Amino acid sequence: MAQLQQGGPDEKEKTTALKDLLSRIDLDELMKKDEPPLEFPDTLEGFEYIFNEKGQLRHIKTGEPFVFNYREDLHRWNQKRYEALGEIITKYIYELLQNECHLKKVTLPVDAVESEPKSFIFMSEDALVNPDKLLVLIHGNGVVRAGQWARRLIINEDLDSGTQIPYIKRAIEEGYGVIVLNPNENYIEIEKTKAQVQLSSDISDEPAEKRERKDKIQKETKKRRDFYEKYRNPQKEKETMQIYIRMIQREAEVKNRVTAVALTDSVHNVWHQEVGKTIREWMRENCCNWVSSSEPLDTSVESMLPDCPRVSAGTERHELTSWKSFPSVFKFFSEAVKAKNSLVKPTQTRRSNRIKYEEF
């Protein structure tokens, strides 16, 4: 799992976007709406929804798909209802991983003390002892958790396209051990003490006059931001901080033991992550990225970055790339395993375009 870095380019982009949003929002107008309490059921049955035999979320009484705009002109209430349903679905997927896929839940770090922040992953019984092959599944960033590709697909399409369950079942059928990672669950959020809140606002090496002008602007911005945050998330009354779960890096071990890596519309950047030349070379040899494209599945797609080959996932919808590329990904893995076992490099089919990157 990768630790999020604070204060980097992503954080600056978020700050800029928030400032732009705050400048365009009439907060007083937002608060005028007569909104019902943000209290929602804590079970699927409470929402009156259920997954049918096709894995589709349907209303218990009407059989209709999920309706986002349950109440007209109450976007925040509808969004909070959607988020509450998403949390229930996350727990539902965890149950499927354990009961249907027969994976076990494992706490991380494995040697954590009781007071230490912890996360968890799911793994098959043979994950650490399978002598032949191991499949490690990692979802993207955002609200998704272990076992999910896209919450939107789970709610609006079906479990097959939105979860990792088809990958898990196929892998087990083909003799893989399986580990399902949970990288978005890599920190805990705790309430800041008064001293921590004051310290974060006092630390500055700027001249006093410049700091006073800046503080005045920041106070006004913070006032509007806090007002908007209260509108967007009224349950969050206190300032919080994130404590990251202990992690380690094992570049050499990963490169020696990992045979192939399939990415689905990944937005990684080898330059931002300070990846060395040896890792870039390893990625060109062992990775393939199925990207959103209008081209047929497995068609080579040009890239300006010298990281790894890119091919079409056969869909222009980002959230569908994992599902649409499903058969090709397993073919890619199968070829890589056979090549490793025979000590011969895989044929340059989907990865033929890696040659043009050798000059990097």
The string of DSSP letters for 235-272 reads: T--S-EEEEEPP----HHHHHHH---EEEES----TTT
188: three-class secondary structure by DSSP: strand
Residue-wise pLDDT for 293-304, tens only, equals 999 999 999 877
- Lowest mean pLDDT, pick from 15-29, 195-209, 320-334: 195-209
Q: What are 159-165's contacts with CB under 8 Å, separation 24+?
A: 159/51, 159/55, 159/56, 159/96, 160/55, 160/323, 161/320, 161/323, 162/319, 162/323, 163/93, 163/96, 164/137, 164/139, 164/322, 165/96, 165/97, 165/100, 165/101
Provide the pLDDT for residue 133. 95
pLDDT band at 23 (very low <50, low <70, confident <90, very high): low
Which percentage of the chain shows pLDDT scores above 90? 51
Which percentage of the chain shows pLDDT scores above 70? 71
Q: Is the dihedral of CA 22, 28, 34, 39 positive or negative?
A: positive
Please state, rounded to an integer, the average pLDDT across all residues of the chain.
81
Provide the pLDDT for residue 27. 54
What phi and psi, each to the nearest 5 degrees, are found at residue 353? -75, 0
What average pLDDT does the segment 152-169 reach? 97
pLDDT at residue 235 is higher than 50: yes
Q: What is the CB-side half-sphere exposure of residue 253 using CA atoms within 13 A?
A: 3
C-alpha span between 72 and 50 (Å, rounded): 23
Cis omega before residue 306 (within 30°)? no
- Lowest mean pLDDT, pick from 109-118, 119-128, 350-359: 350-359
**Residues paired with residue 50 on neighbouring β-strands, in sequence order:** 58
C-alpha span between 273 and 283 (Å, rounded): 14
Provide the pLDDT for residue 292. 96
Provide the pLDDT for residue 5. 34
Provide the pLDDT for residue 6. 38
* First and final C-alpha spacing in the chain: 28
Provide the pLDDT for residue 21. 63
355: three-class secondary structure by DSSP: helix
Query: β-strands 187-191, 261-264: how paired?
Result: unpaired
User: What are the start-end ranges of the E strands in 144-259?
Assistant: 177-180, 187-191, 240-244
C-alpha span between 189 and 187 (Å, rounded): 7
Provide the pLDDT for residue 240. 72
- The most confident of the ranges 10-24, 45-59, 74-88, 225-239 is 45-59
pLDDT band at 26 (very low <50, low <70, confident <90, very high): low
- Report whether 248 contacts 203 (CB < 8 A): no
- Report whether 262 contacts 288 (CB < 8 A): yes
Provide the pLDDT for residue 1. 33
pLDDT band at 173 (very low <50, low <70, confident <90, very high): very high
Q: pTM for the complete prediction?
A: 0.74
